[in-house]
Chain A
Amino acid sequence: MKNPTCPRPGAALLFVALVALLPRLDAAEGTVLARPGVRPLAADLPVETAVLTEAPHVPPRITRQHAAKVIVNLEVREVVKRLADGVEYTFWTYGGNVPGSFIRVREGDFVEFHLNNHPTSKVPHNIDLHAVTGPGGGAASSFTAPGHSSQFSFTALNPGLYVYHCATAPVPMHIANGMYGLILVDPKDGMPPVDREYYVMQGEIYTAGRHGEGGLQNFDPMKAEDERPPYVVLNGSVGALVGDMALQAKVGETVRLYFGVGGPNLTSSFHVIGEIFDTVYVEGGVLPAQRHVQTTMVPAGGSTVVEFKVEVPGTYILVDHSLSRAFNKGALGMLKVTGAGNALTYSGKEIDEVYIGQASDAGFAASKREAELMAQKEAAIADNPRIAGFTKEIQLERGRKVFLTSCFACHMANGEGLPAVFPPLAGSDFLKADKDRAIKSVIKGLSGPITVNGKPYNNMMPPHDFTDDQVADVLTFAMNSWGNDFGAVSVSDVKRVRAENK
């Protein structure tokens, strides 16, 4: 919400000049002033230089009760930095890091902004601060060639947490390369004090290589256009908030996170695993608008402020709960909480004992019941000749398939074999004579001279790597085809022969 009675900061000088001429207008606005009744000229304001911090650190709270002229010196630098282990990327930064330096001013402050583009930069840059009321948010006024510096000024009219970013074409590339940060405009009365304040921002990186592909990676414009980032990261790189660099807090402290999304494209489902946000200043506004929130949605180019009291020691994981981004692309950070635990809030693991599944009482009863039912089924099949015949048909059909895969090449499809080379199965006295020998021949193979139907054969049959079922099926098929009626081979027959011939 912009205050319609306030002028644009681009006209700040004109504005203060007018106000100087019209003190009553000023009084009517009821603005808080350094000197009651007279809005100070920018030149009259006390001057201070903004403290800029690198993420995850946040500048100290502003305690003064009056407006100031705040000078911000922000340097744009293009730097090669680690993106992930073994992966580097040329980041475009505000202040040398991603996200850019955290800027903190107070509502009503007159901000003199200097954007300095380092001489080694390849390209011009600028800055669009969402905290600025005016066309482009300062973008046009801060457009700066490499090795140059721009100045513009604005009054921080609206309190809140705002994203700033580069708005030089092609904007998605500038942002994807790391050109985003947060500016906090503290409300006049300040944010309520908390124990810890941290600065975390999410952004995507569109590398030409896949996630994890090593070396210095280039920007891939097609992936950016398709919004398919190989990396989604918190604070600029994979692991920027992990291990030694994790955020820290002690049990009983209240933590406030200033969380923003640079984008350029993805909306974050911001969540801290194992915590509930006690308070969310939704979308970075100044109202503690919602309480007891699990996951809060933060748009690209938007922010949120979340607060929570940490009650239980341990490690809490900050994620984008659009979880492929956390598990596969890097959108993950840690908050380590130290101190004494409180078993009433969270017990930790109380019992760890062996669970024996089916061997436990319930499982054992279930398996006993299953065996009973199987026995009933087999009895019913045996008692019913139609079903028994049907099951034999099924066995023959399965055996035929095995035969046509492995046996027919020698014994031929009609079971007659090749004269003097491969013995016949059809009408074979050798097959009919000894069921166990037949089983053993299939399992172990058979070689040397034999006599079948009075004719000598001397060849070699290889062993076959069939299951017991397959052996039973294929032999039953052979013993009941081409006019044979030699009985059947059961699985238990096969098992027995196999055991005898170990």
Chain B
Amino acid sequence: MARCFIPVGWQQAGHLALVGFALLATLATTRAGPATQAGMTAIPAGTYRPLIRSQDEPAEISVAPFWLDIRPVTNAEYLAFVQAHPRWRRSQVSPLFADSGYLSDWAGDLELGPSAPVGAPVVRVSWFAARAYARAIDKRLPTIAEWERAAAAGFTQSEGAKEPGFPAQVLAWFTQPTPQPLPAAGSGRPNYFGARDLLTLVWEWVDDFNTAMVTGESRGDSGLDRNLFCGAGAAGIRDPSDFAGFMRAGFRSSVRASYSVPNLGFRCAQSP
């Protein structure tokens, strides 16, 4: 449980987590959930239109209401986690669950250092590690459908694609180099649902990242060539001009669960 790993001197995020758990107890008793959830924002029920789908898959997927962290998990929060769970420390993690780049921007096992500011999003964590973190605080990773549903909102409208200037701003992120070190998580402008930094800080793990698309080796599986490379990438696509969507799909399918990537972090979700 959360109290196990909250260290002395790490008050702010700890308080948030504690409040979160207090609320969680209430949450369990009511299906609708509370109106607020510390550090999280409510994403109302909606739909997600997959970027890539085969003919027997639905054009729209319903997404039930859920809670989503307002911002990505920070280095400080993740440090508290590894303090409480030694097996996820850099020196002790199993190579099965995290590759050699795991937390390599940290100064030490339990020391963040100048490359990993306290408030910056934690990156270089594997999918296994992100899931373990979420599970330790009774949360989970969002699914692709949930994450995309939340990120489809603009700053002022529920459909960012229709908000003037919003798609260009999202795309602009790809054309700017990653700042070193990363800026603080939560400093971005909140979107329509109150979530920050979804599209313009770091990539984020999702629970079912490896269903993003079928790549090279397994393209024979479906009988439909869904390989996203070159011109073949345009076959079966909802909207070929959704460049940012392509990038996310491409990114998700470029990683494996043990990978640590310098600009890939995560945030947690929770069902009401």
Indicate if the CB atoms of A147 and B260 lie closer than 8 Å: yes
Please, how many angstroms separate the alpha-carbon atoms of A383 and B176 in the complex?
Answer: 83
Interface status of A97 (Cβ within 8 A of chain B): no
The bracket for how many chain B residues form the interface is 35 or more
CA distance A347 to B188 in the complex (A): 67
> Which residues in B have their C-beta under 8 angstroms from that of A220?
168
Question: Does B247 sit within 8 A of A, measured CB to CB?
Answer: yes
Q: Which of B238-253 contact A (CB under 8 A)?
A: 240-241, 243, 246-247, 249-251, 253
Complex Cα distance A140/B240, Å?
A: 20
Which residues in B have their C-beta under 8 angstroms from that of A119? 101, 262
Contacting residue for B174 out of A122, A171, A208, CB 8 A: A122
Beyond A120-B180, A136-B216, whether A145 also contacts B229 by CB under 8 A is no
Among A33-41, A162-170, A405-413, the one that faces the other chain is A162-170
Are A139 and B247 in contact (CB-based, < 8 A)? no
Number of A-B residue pairs having CB atoms within 8 Å of each other in the complex: 106
With the chains together, A220 CA to B227 CA distance in Å? 25
* Contact in complex: A143, B216 (CB < 8 Å): yes
Known contacts A123-B250, A221-B243; is A143 also within 8 Å of B172 by CB? no
CA distance A460 to B202 in the complex (A): 80
Contact flag A146-B261 (CB < 8 Å), given A123-B247, A140-B215, A170-B247: yes
One of A141, A147, A169, A218 near B261 (C-beta < 8 A): A147
Cβ of B228: which chain A residues have Cβ within 8 Å of it? Answer: 168-169
Cβ–Cβ < 8 Å partners of B221 in chain A: none
- In-complex Cβ contact of A135 among B172, B216, B247, B250 (8 A): B216
Q: Kindly state whether residue B94 has any CB partner on chain A within 8 Å.
A: no
Bound CA span A76–B142, Å:
30
Please report which residues of chain A, range 126-180, place their CB below 8 angstroms from some CB of chain B when the two chains form the complex: 126, 128, 135-136, 139-141, 143-148, 167-171, 173, 177
Known: A120-B177, A170-B233, A177-B175. 18 other contacts (CB 8 A): A90-B176, A90-B177, A119-B262, A120-B262, A121-B178, A128-B229, A140-B217, A145-B255, A145-B261, A146-B261, A147-B101, A147-B124, A148-B259, A169-B229, A170-B240, A173-B243, A218-B172, A220-B168
Could you tell me which B residues sit within 8 Å of A by CB distance? 101, 124, 168, 171-178, 180, 215-217, 227-231, 233, 240-241, 243, 246-247, 249-251, 253-255, 259-264
Interface residues of A (CB under 8 A from B): 78-80, 89-90, 119-124, 126, 128, 135-136, 139-141, 143-148, 167-171, 173, 177, 208, 216, 218-222, 225
What would be 30 A-B contacts, judged by CB atoms less than 8 Å apart?
A119-B262, A120-B177, A120-B262, A122-B174, A124-B250, A124-B254, A135-B216, A139-B229, A140-B215, A140-B216, A143-B216, A145-B251, A145-B254, A145-B259, A145-B261, A145-B264, A146-B264, A147-B260, A148-B259, A167-B230, A168-B228, A169-B246, A170-B240, A170-B247, A216-B176, A218-B172, A218-B175, A219-B175, A220-B168, A225-B241
Q: 4 closest A-B pairs (Cβ-Cβ)?
A: A140-B216, A124-B254, A169-B233, A139-B229
